[in-house]
Amino acid sequence: MTVVLVLGAAMLTAAAALLLVRLTVGPTILDRSVALDVLVAVTVCATGLHVAHSGVTYALPMLVVLAGCGMVGAVSVARYTSRSDDLEAGDRDDPGTGGLR
């Protein structure tokens, strides 16, 4: 069981390190948003690994909160980027309407 926990922790640490690189280097806001969303998922997995190892359950509500924050953050960024693309496309198509259809 200890070997599995060590391997899981090592993989999660490597994933977190690579995600931090993507967060800093990512050329677009969508790359950074996806990296942040996956980093939240890695944090949820690491917390679950800690709960499985220690057997304490006080961290389980934190898993629910982290999963909810990750989902809300991803949806917020997706809505923000979709609205900004729609406004730019509307302005280019017909400058007289101001992007409204």
Q: Give pLDDT tens digits along the chain (101 positions).
A: 789 999 999 999 999 999 999 999 988 888 888 899 999 999 999 999 999 899 888 888 999 999 899 889 888 888 888 776 544 544 555 555 555 55
Distance CA 64, CA 54 (A): 18
CA dihedral over 39, 44, 45, 49, signed as positive or negative: positive
Q: What is the pTM of this model?
A: 0.74
Going from N- to C-terminal start, the domains of the chain cover 2-83
Do 65 and 40 touch, CB atoms closer than 8 A?
no
